[in-house]
Amino acid sequence: MNSEWKYVPVRRTALFIEESLYRGTQWVVFEPNDEPLWAQIAQANGLPASRYVVRVLPTEELNAFACGGHLVLVTSFAVHELTQSQLRGVLAHELSHHLGLHTVAITIGHWLSAPVVLLARIGFYFENVAQAAAESFGRRSPPNNRKSCRRRKKEPQGLTCG
């Protein structure tokens, strides 16, 4: 058995993973799903309050988001600074995005555009390869093997090479 594998820092690795997960989730404050305000909005729309997950982002911006996967995000600034009726309107607006299937349409649009983006990136890659090859091999070519092209002045074809 190799000597480097005799000691495996299991405890240290577990603590590292735990700390990494803790730090990675600090951007979101977990709030319970059964908030009275959200329950009122869901009930008014005939939905169970637990169908959507409401989370609060700790930021000083006034914003809210309807995300895929039945997720509604609202900023801490909005929660603390808006009145109950204003916050109710913001949350109802975000719920309308889910009920109108806007998040589904955006997700489908992203998936449909993925092949186009992939083909474009492949095209840019081959363009860079072609440029590098032209610059590399073009400099090494002897001048007498290159065709010289010059513009004709009177004829409509434009270029003459030879």
pLDDT tens-digit profile of 117-137?
999 999 999 999 988 888 877
pLDDT value of residue 120: 92
**Closest to 98 in 3D by CA, of 56, 52, 159:** 52
Residues in the chain: 162
Verdict on whether the full-model pTM lies above 0.85: no
Structural domain range at position 56: 28-104
Residues 67/94, Cβ–Cβ less than 8 Å: no
In this structure, is residue 149 part of a structural domain?
A: no
Amino acid at the residue 49: A
In this structure, is residue 5 part of a structural domain?
A: no
Which CATH number belongs to the domain containing residue 78 in this structure?
Answer: 3.30.2010.10
pLDDT value of residue 33: 41
Query: At residue 141, does pLDDT exceed 50?
Result: yes
In this structure, is residue 48 part of a structural domain?
A: yes
For residue 71, the tally of other CB atoms under 10 A from its CB is 15
Rg of the chain over Cα atoms, rounded to whole angstroms, equals: 30
Query: What does the block give as tokens for 91?
Result: 């949350």
For residue 154, the tally of other CB atoms under 10 A from its CB is 4
Q: How many domains does the chain have?
A: 1
Query: Containing H/E element for 43?
Result: helix 36-44
In this structure, is residue 112 part of a structural domain?
A: no
Per residue in 22-73, pLDDT tens?
776 655 554 444 467 777 787 788 888 778 888 888 888 999 988 877 888 8
